[in-house]
Structure 1
Amino acid sequence: MRLSQARGSGRTSPKFTEGFGSAPAQASCVQFRLVVRDASTLQVLQLYTCLDQIQYIEWSSDSLFILCAMYKRGIVQVWSLEQPDWHCKIDEGSAGLVASCWSPDGRHILNTTEFHLRITVWSLCTKSVSYIKYPKACQQGIAFTKDGRYMAVAERRDCKDFISIFVCSDWQLLRHFDTETQDLFGIEWAPNGCVLAAWDTCLEYKILLYSLDGRLLSTYRAYEWSLGIKSIAWSPSSQFLAIGSYDEKVRILNHVTWKKITEFEHPATIANTKTIVYKEVEKSPSVETERLSLPPTRALASSLFSTHSKYDISQVPVSLQYIKPVADRANPKMGVGMLAFSPDNCFLATKNDNIPNAVWIWDIQKLKLFVVLEQLCAVQSFQWDPRQPRLAVCTGNSKVYLWSPAGCVAVQVPLEGDFQIVSLSWHASGDSMALLGKDNFCMCYLEREEIK
């Protein structure tokens, strides 16, 4: 494993691509500057200066363009990697700007104006402009099919929720229908693009499944009169829909009848002897007396005061740290807030916010709990390797944790200073990932394992 660091003052937001010539590229922004680096060496390939502080960056699907959004000024700048002298500026003017994203073809930009009055579709090829009215201000109001052919938009008109489906090739309206929701919270397509999931606000447990032509296929409710859906995740095969709820359970729906086939609970005590519980433990490295010197070298001082983590297998039953939510505060820390299927459709990783230090890994083929990772700190983020069942976890310290069916390991990031990993992102190849801190990031390179 090899690690390289990039540091900067201000906001750092790395994203990855695989399309810059023959070498993958990586982009990050620091204040006014956009830096494009070679993802394997971190060598600077391009450096662009924007008109204001960059608040969001995104690669186009073919990795030939990068958009930089400056929400405070209502401006989006687009840069070309093939032609560094070419650039584009989109100014929303008095309408303002709150969100910006690429269309799947990488040649159109969708800007959402302030107060969600409209979505403006800008074409880089024809310089034409299209408008979509009444977009709803919700967590996930725009969803594209994986093949990039269709786009669904959540809308709010006359105090009622609607969904419009557009054809991305010409932005023509394909279907427009109302939804049986009180306050639509999000929409997401199945990976095969045949079914659209729409779920209601957390005050009502309701998820609706629509076909491409707008027909309501099924409605699912688990219970009433309590906080409902907190997160959802489609399996890569589109056969399963996992629903994380505030009652600390995950319910799995099947794609044939859209009925529940099982539910996964997250108890504070693991009693099943067939479940493997990996517990993170810290130990201080031993230093030989002969190596001590006064004053100590920088490397020796760092090793003296640092701690290393490893995993021990705990004997069941195991009691996990359980946090009772504060009932009189908004957005209580409770329920299943993170869900992710492995790329081979074999595993599901979850996090129950009531037990913040644990990651639960479920065997989807056997529909039972397989592994629990018990961390010393609260889990901040986890993400699957896009090429194999390997999960990366970070907990806000300077370590990254990797799990696969073969076992798990904790890796110390050997960087100077206080580097706290708050999120991580895999490269599309699965050979590297970015470990993101508040003001800097670190590239982690992994040796490729042969999958038999």
Structure 2
Amino acid sequence: MALSATSQGSHTTPSPSGQYLASISPGSNTLRLHATHVPDRYTDVSLRISSKDVTGLQWNHESDRIVVVSARLIEIVDLEDADHRIRLDNGSGGFGKFANAEFVGRELLLVVWEFGKVKLWNLESGKGADLCDVKGSCDGARWQLRPGRQAQTGTLAMLSKVNAEDVLNLYLPAAQKLVGAVRLPTLDAQSIQWSPDGRWISVLDVGTAVQGVHFLTPDGNLYRSYPAAKESEALGLGIKSIVWAQNSQALALTRYDGTIVLLNTRTFAPKAVIEHTTTIDQRATTSPEEQAPIWEEIVSVSGGNSHASVAQPFSPPLSRTKPATEPAELGVAEAQFSCDGSWLATRDERMLNTVWIWNMATLNAHSVLVQHNNARKLHWHPTRPDELMLDCGDGTAYFFSTTSANPPMPIGISTNTTLSYLPTPATSKTVILATAKSTFRMLYPDGQPEEPDFPAQSGATREAASVDESFEDGASEDSLLDLLSGRKPLPVKTEQSYTERVDLEVETEEEDTTARMDDTFREKRSRQPPNTGMEDEVEHDPFDDSEIF
């Protein structure tokens, strides 16, 4: 096991490949990029956005571009070509602040304003297309790109509200074309979700709806609703969330009454119901050898912790997360499938310190883990289906294996951190990210990963690659990915960077500098084919003075 030193940085976001980390360096207008296998190796990229104004970071799927979002300015950093910096200005803010920005493929950026205005920008041509306003009052995802498809052929599904009715809009992002708009049979749709294999679109309705979930085909045709109208309950809250297994072979619907309904993923008919009971007692239905083991965490007076086996019947302690004067939370707090869908880990709002693990082959409880503190988040390993990590908010990672007879193994990291697995490949060692408000560090349970196998470098060159140097647009032709991986040394900064020179000129002749930057970008655009998308068909909105340059 190895634990990295604490690094400074906020909004820490891992790349989809798991090889890099991006964060905002506190107190400066700097984006800091780390190599996860060597956290001390990093490079800085200067931004126009102040660190205190940053609201989020987002990687693209290829892990070679990052979008930095603030209320008035969005900036895109290309790790393969740091000279090519793209910025999107909000102008006078006629649609409110920038709320979010997300890559759709590598060359398209979906931008959402706080009041629901949506625009799809082509980063190569610099042109934008207006999409329908996205629905605002949702608890979950309001748009999602079809999984397993490239942006050129994938479908973007988005929820909208038109004349008090929910509408599902389907776009082809590359063509910036609306291909379908379907009115949904919902009272107040709360989220949209593609199945991981891209064969179904699931729409979650508000909990008071008679039919809580609707399943549609990729072209927007309604296939089935659950529960069926004749099976619907007349009173009471219904479905709380939809949880797909990564292989799309299992589907769970969590309910406000504390049960979980498992559906057949072909017919969407119910095949089992899982229930959390306040007293665990399998003696009447299961032999002693097949009863789910119960592990309870014991904390000593000195602060040490261990897990002890508890006999059935056993009643987990009830938890309370809100003051008695506020309404209690209801239903299932969390449900997570393992990476292959063979296990399901769940928590109930009434017993937040208790984790149930269910075997999807037998549909029986496999084990129950009772923690001293409330479990805050459940994490299955991205490639190992038998490994579960519990984050209880106490600075300790609890690892449990479904194939072992041993209790959870605690590993202390640091207090007030949030834990998560990095999406590393199956052949790589496990990396766990522990983030706080302005710091982060990494835990390597299997030992620190080896550096990627690159051509040999001299000792002086390899040492130089771990030196903290600022890399700004125009400072070098080296790829930032090469610098982070150690294939090339970080460049030594000997003079003012392009960004510093431009910022200096902006103070005295802002208009001329902006024109030069825009002209430079147009030269890049001129080599791209003309865009014949939907932007030619949409009348320009007089309130829209956002500009990309």
Q: TM-score, normalised by structure 1?
A: 0.86
Structure 1 residue 200 and structure 2 residue 205: aligned? yes
CA deviation after TM superposition for structure 1 residue 328, in Å: 8.8
Alignment correspondent of 1:133: 132
The answer to whether the 8 A contact 2:381-2:421 is kept is: no
Distance 2:34 2:89 in 1: 27
Residue 331 (structure 1) shift: 6.7
How far residue 354 of structure 1 moved from its aligned partner, in angstroms, is 1.3
Q: How many percent identity over aligned positions?
A: 21
* Residue 354 (structure 2) aligns with: 358
Distance 1:140 1:29 in 2: 25
Q: What is the CA–CA distance in structure 1 between the aligned matches of 2:249 and 2:267, rounded to whole Å?
A: 11
Task: Report the Cα distance in structure 1 between the residues aligned to 2:370 and 2:324, rounded to whole angstroms.
Answer: 28
1:294 matched to which residue of 2? Answer: none
Deviations 1:309-367 (A, max 9, x none): 23222211111112478799777322113121111110011111111101111111111
Q: Alpha-carbon deviations, 1:220-253, whole Å to 9, x = none?
A: 1353422222221112222322111110111111
- Of 222, 226, 230, 1:220 maps to 226
Q: 1:279 aligns to what?
A: 296
List alignment gaps of at least 5 residues for structure 1.
285-304
Mapping of residues 254-273 of structure 1, within 5 Å: 254-272=264-282, 273=288
C-alpha distance after superposition, 1:351-388 (max 9, x if no partner): 11111101111111111211111111111112111101
**CA gap 1:110/1:313 in 2 versus in 1, 3 angstroms:** same
How many angstroms apart in 2 are the aligned matches of 1:265 and 1:108?
Answer: 44
Of 321, 337, 361, 2:333 maps to 337
* Counterpart code for 1:207: V
Secondary structure class of the residue paired with 2:243 = strand
Is the counterpart of residue 313 in structure 1 residue 334 in structure 2?
no
Q: 1:224 to 1:115 in 2, by over 3 A?
A: farther
- Matched residue, 1:14: 13
Structure 2 match to 1:144: 145
User: Judging changes above 3 Å, is the alpha-carbon distance between structure 1 residues 79 and 447 closer, same or farther for their aligned structure 2 residues?
Assistant: same
Task: Give the counterpart of 1:79 among 77, 80, 84.
Answer: 77
Gapped regions of structure 2 (runs ≥ 5): 283-287, 448-549
Residue of structure 1 equivalent to 2:485? none
Partner of 1:171: 176
- The CA deviation at 1:100 is 2.3
Q: CA deviation at 1:192?
A: 1.2
Asked whether the 8 Å contact 2:250–2:262 carries over to 1, the reply is yes
Alignment partner of 1:211 out of 192, 204, 217: 217
Distance 1:331 1:99 in 2: 30
Distance 1:105 1:429 in 2: 21
Paired with 1:196 and 1:46, the residues of 2 have a C-alpha distance of: 41
- Give distance in 1, aligned partners of 2:344 and 2:314: 21
The letter for the 2-side match of 1:255 is T
Equivalences for residues 382-397 of structure 1 within 5 A = 382-389=378-385, 390-397=387-394
Does the Cα contact within 8 Å between 1:14 and 1:434 map onto a contact in 2? no
The reply on whether 1:241 has 2:251 as its aligned counterpart is yes
Cα distance, 1:17–1:192 mapped onto 2, change above 3 Å: closer
* Aligned-CA RMSD value: 2.3
Query: How many pairs does the alignment contain?
Result: 416
Paired with 1:338 and 1:25, the residues of 2 have a C-alpha distance of 28
Per the alignment, do residues 436 and 200 of structure 1 end up closer, same or farther by CA in structure 2, a change over 3 Å counting?
A: same
Greater CA drift, 205-214 or 421-430:
421-430
Q: Which secondary structure state, in structure 1, belongs to the residue aligned with residue 39 of structure 2?
A: coil
Higher-RCO chain (CA-CA 8 Å, sequence separation at least 6)? 2
The equivalent of 2:489 in structure 1 is none
> Is 1:180 equivalent to 2:197 in the alignment?
no
Letter in 1 for 2:388: L
Per the alignment, residue 33 of structure 2 pairs with 36
CA distance, structure 1, for counterparts of residue 224 and residue 162 of structure 2: 23
SS in 2 for 1:203: coil
State how far apart, in whole Å, the 2-side matches of 1:324 and 1:172 are. Answer: 49
Q: What amino acid is aligned across from residue 36 of structure 2 in structure 1? A: A
1:98 shift after superposition: 4.6
* Cα gap change, 1:2 to 1:174, in 2 (>3 Å): same
Over 3 Å counting, the alpha-carbon distance change for 1:196 and 1:182 in structure 2 is same
Does structure 1 residue 64 correspond to structure 2 residue 41? no
SS at structure 2 position matched to 1:66: strand
Q: Which has the larger radius of gyration?
A: 2
What's the secondary structure of 1:250's corresponding residue?
Answer: strand
Structure having the larger proportion of residues in helix = 2
Q: Which moved more, 1:261-270 or 1:87-96?
A: 87-96
* Counterpart position of 1:288: none
In 1, Cα distance between equivalents of 2:366 and 2:105: 39
Tell me the alpha carbon deviations over residues 185-240 of structure 1, each in whole angstroms, 9 at most, x when there is no partner: 00101111111000111232510000112211111135342222222111222232
The structure 1 residue matched to 2:89, chosen from 78, 88, 91, is: 91
Q: Which amino acid aligns with 1:400?
A: A
User: Could you state the TM-score of these two structures normalised by the residue count of structure 2?
Assistant: 0.71
Aligned 8 A contact 1:198 1:207 in 2 = yes
Letter in 1 for 2:146: T
SS of 1:103's equivalent in the other structure is strand
SS of the equivalent of 1:391 reads strand
CA distance in 2, matches of 1:99, 1:408: 43
Are the counterparts in 1 of residues 12 and 21 from structure 2 also a CA contact under 8 Å?
no
Letter of the 1:197 partner, please give it.
S
- 1:163 aligned partner, one-letter code: L
Residue identity matched to 2:174: S
1:231/1:337 contact within 8 Å kept = no
Quick one: distance in 1 between partners of 2:17 and 2:266? Answer: 36
Does the 8 Å CA contact 2:249/2:341 hold for their aligned counterparts?
A: no
> 3-state DSSP class of the match of 2:115?
helix
Given candidates 375, 383, 386, the residue that maps to 1:379 is 375
Counterpart residue number, 1:107: 107
Deviation at 1:147, TM superposition (A): 1.5
- Letter of the structure 2 residue corresponding to residue 161 of structure 1: D
Contact 2:294 2:370 in 1 (8 A): yes
1:295 aligned residue: none
Describe the SS at the equivalent of 1:14.
Answer: strand
Q: How far apart, in 1, do the equivalents of 2:96 and 2:378 lie? A: 34
